[in-house]
Structure 1
Amino acid sequence: MSNFAFKGRNGRGELVEGIVDATSSDAVAAQLMAGGVVPVSIEPTTDAVGSAGDGGWLQALLAKPVTQEDALILTRQLYTLQKAGVPILRSLAGLEASTSHPGIIRLLQDVHASLDQGRELATAFARHPAVFSAFYVAMTRVGELTGRLTEVFHRLAEHLEFELDIRARIKQALRYPMMVIIAMGIALVVINLFVLPKFAEVFAHFKSELPLMTRVLLGFSGWTVKWWPAVLAGGVGLVLLWRNWLATPTGRYTWDRLKLRLPIAGNIVLKATLARFARSFALASSSGVPISQAMTVVAQTVDNAYIGARIEQMRDGVERGESISRCATATGVFTPIVLQMIAVGEETGELDTLMTEIAQMYERETDYAIKGLSAAIEPILLAIIGALVLVLALGVFLPLWNLGQAAMGR
């Protein structure tokens, strides 16, 4: 298949242009005509589909990205316009005219052009995976098929708001500990590279044996000063290796499993992930998505490969004819009260309602855990800072104290 640049006129006489991939120019013309666009010109091009075009690579590099906050606002605006009965094409045109964000303007233009070419709205959203997740695209497709697009936009807005709220709370809770850790790192670098070498010159004039802690600190400082380029290169190499390992399926699965077992953060990660699963599953189920298909989509949205594998395990069990509660029990990640609620919901046919209750319960527990995160980390940070101060005091100031004692004749 090749790429073709086209220009045409839609039903309102507006100029429509873009780049599509097709087998021939005739196929492009047929695709445009099927979407209600009269082609004016169709020419082969080497540009990629959805390329930035005249902006160039520099504009694409410096362009302001579309954030999840922008996606939330856009979803709420689409919900309001759909609720008011405005057609989707007019909604996109109105949103494009009312925003000043270049990235959103390009996104809306591409979605509008895709709809003019006869594509579905979900397919147009799928062309922008950095903005619209697989779950967002799948739910949009369900809304189009069932005619409940307005309700889907409303539920997606609530879903995005919950995601952003959780991330904001975690960042707020970790802001102080991260500042302390960064300050400690800078202090250690300054002490090793600048302070301890000066003390080493002073201690070199001592004609007595230095304490063990002082010799260890001076040895470590000398090694750091001599080999800091290798240490820096090794650190960068370890970061690159870590990122490459996380990019592999095995590495991602192993790390996501280890995250759930971390002493303090593991419980928060587990509860937040299960809350995301329960809310996503409730949203998909209430929108009319079949159970097995809903689990397939939700497994891709939990942002945890280990939990995603457990959800896929549940899906396989459901496809074999087992009950959802039994499959959930086999995963080993749900608490007994949650399993009981799933069983009740399955028996009464109110599974989506009870899954929403489960999501709210996990959200409350996550909120409480995040509020106590800083209080749980602060004693550990204080203990680490105290240990570092003790080591420095024993290693640096003890010889000076001994020197002062000797000078005073004691």
Structure 2
Amino acid sequence: MPRFAYTGRSAQGRVSGELEAASAGAVADQLRVQGITVLSVQGAAGGASGPPLMERLQAWLRRGIQPVDMLMFTRQLHTLLRSGVPILRALAGLTESATSERMKETLTAVRQSLESGIELSRCFAQQSHVFDHFFIAMVRVGEMTGRLDEVFLRLFHHQEFEMLMGKQVKSALRYPLFVMAAMVAAIGVINVMVIPAFAGVFAKLGAELPWATRALLATSRFTLDYGWALVLAAGAGTFALKRWIGTESGRLAWDRFKLRLPIAGQIVLKAQLARFARSLALALRSGVPVEQALTVVAQTAENQHIAQKIEGMRGAIERGESLLRAAVATEVFTPVVLQMIAVGEETGAVDELMQEVADLYSSDVEYELKTLGQQIEPILIVFLGVLVLILALGVFLPIWDLGRVSFKR
């Protein structure tokens, strides 16, 4: 495994060193788990070289780790820990019973790191291509509170919910994506094959063509002459967008934009609020102080805009403000969440009410995903109607005018 040299900043000051990891991103994840702000990560001189091309190709062709593999691993690990099985023996048993080769390799690496004296959360962080920030942060909470078995049960329920949501999103988007693909294919066939065939007929009319027909002819001519440029521009734009989202400022702007989308924005916001409430409830129930709990919750948020707001909450609480005032200042929480926080602070049951919020918004997200196709369908019908209208006006109006002139003669 290659080595990387890093520099960063911790509570004690500037730090530097070397770590072994699969990639520079994995090094950054390990350092974040340790509370270190990463300044730079570079390949260390004399580090191990990457695997040969054939080995990398074979690794790419092998079956990857599926969500169901992670689901079974988390559930089985909870059962073993709850039964009193030591963590090393539990990992050894799960490694032998894993059906995925990549899962076996991952668990073997985790067990080896654990045997060398590294804490469990850091062992998972070394495999950041498999275990996400939420998983690692929750394991860290379990280590701090001594409730690893409960944490893995909560992670199982979370992964089960995420997998269910993923299936519902695919199911809801299947019909709209099919209609959009059919529309794009129809536009392409019309521009490349149908309109050029009518162009000669329209040229013989010798009359002024309607605006819709002129627009179709111009679009068809541009597609035939510069179609290759459109393909290149689309590819370059997609690549540039991915690179921009990969930057810190780009990811923040993109996550903020997703919350403002007309239909999907509310679903994304409710899903993030459900995750926030579930994570905060688990951390508080485990005995973690609220400031430290908010730090962990911020690490589990997938949306960087919301994560930044949660970090701001932690800073406000450290300055002496209440949890409610800190939440109001973020301007991202709904009135329902704010009311629950207010009642929770008054009664001392913030963890219980946050779990109620998580259950509420999880149900809302599930319902809205089920009805997502019905919400998008009217928009698709309008676009399809406009497309058919333009095509009908552009193609049939000149033919209608030609037939009317011939009939008068």
Report the TM-score when normalising by structure 1: 0.84
Aligned to 2:390: 391
Taking the TM superposition and a 5 Å limit, the aligned residue runs for 1:64-83 are: 64-83=63-82
Aligned to 1:25: none
Aligned to 1:233: 232
| Distance of aligned partners of 1:48 and 1:361 in 2 relative to their CA distance in 1, 3 Å threshold | farther
Per-residue CA distance 1:115-166 (angstroms, 9 max, x = gap): 2222222221111112212232222233234332111111111122222222
1:271 maps onto 2:270 in alignment: yes
Shift of 1:240: 1.6
Aligned to 1:103: 102
Per-residue CA distance 1:344-387 (angstroms, 9 max, x = gap): 21232211111000111112222232233222211111011000
Aligned to 1:35: none
Taking the TM superposition and a 5 Å limit, the aligned residue runs for 1:277-296 are: 277-296=276-295
Contact 2:2 2:49 in 1 (8 A): no
1:128 maps onto 2:136 in alignment: no
Name which one, 1 or 2, has greater alpha-carbon Rg.
Answer: 1
Shift of 1:402: 2.4
| Distance of aligned partners of 1:383 and 1:3 in 2 relative to their CA distance in 1, 3 Å threshold | closer
Per-residue CA distance 1:288-344 (angstroms, 9 max, x = gap): 222222211211222111111111111111111211011111112223332121122
Distance 2:318 2:207 in 1: 78
Contact 1:159 1:280 in 2 (8 A): no
Contact 1:152 1:287 in 2 (8 A): no
Amino acid at match of 1:280: S
Shift of 1:21: 5.3
Shift of 1:92: 1.8
Taking the TM superposition and a 5 Å limit, the aligned residue runs for 1:8-407 are: 56-407=55-406
Answer with 315-324 or 137-146: which moved more.
137-146
Amino acid at match of 1:141: R
Query: What is the aligned-residue RMSD (CA, Å)?
Result: 2.5
Contact 2:172 2:369 in 1 (8 A): yes
Distance 1:223 1:21 in 2: 53
Distance 1:120 1:49 in 2: 24
Amino acid at match of 1:103: R
Distance 1:334 1:140 in 2: 26
Aligned pairs, number: 372
Shift of 1:219: 1.1
Amino acid at match of 1:361: L
Shift of 1:189: 1.2
SS of residue paired to 1:172: helix
Q: Which runs of 5+ in 1 are unaligned?
A: 5-19, 23-45
| Distance of aligned partners of 1:289 and 1:53 in 2 relative to their CA distance in 1, 3 Å threshold | farther
Report the TM-score when normalising by structure 2: 0.84
Amino acid at match of 2:109: D
Shift of 1:409: 4.0
Distance 2:51 2:147 in 1: 33
SS of residue paired to 2:329: helix
Contact 1:92 1:112 in 2 (8 A): yes
| Distance of aligned partners of 1:232 and 1:220 in 2 relative to their CA distance in 1, 3 Å threshold | same
Shift of 1:279: 0.7
| Distance of aligned partners of 1:297 and 1:49 in 2 relative to their CA distance in 1, 3 Å threshold | farther
Distance 2:53 2:236 in 1: 37
Q: Which runs of 5+ in 2 are unaligned?
A: 4-18, 22-44
| Distance of aligned partners of 1:49 and 1:288 in 2 relative to their CA distance in 1, 3 Å threshold | farther
| Distance of aligned partners of 1:388 and 1:3 in 2 relative to their CA distance in 1, 3 Å threshold | closer
Shift of 1:390: 0.5
| Distance of aligned partners of 1:357 and 1:53 in 2 relative to their CA distance in 1, 3 Å threshold | farther
Answer with 349-358 or 370-379: which moved more.
370-379
Contact 1:268 1:369 in 2 (8 A): yes
Contact 1:122 1:141 in 2 (8 A): yes
| Distance of aligned partners of 1:218 and 1:151 in 2 relative to their CA distance in 1, 3 Å threshold | same
Shift of 1:54: 11
Distance 1:182 1:368 in 2: 26
Distance 2:148 2:131 in 1: 16
Contact 1:329 1:339 in 2 (8 A): yes
Shift of 1:211: 1.9
| Distance of aligned partners of 1:51 and 1:94 in 2 relative to their CA distance in 1, 3 Å threshold | farther
Amino acid at match of 1:330: A
Answer with 382-391 or 55-64: which moved more.
55-64
Aligned to 2:39: none
Answer with 247-256 or 103-112: which moved more.
247-256
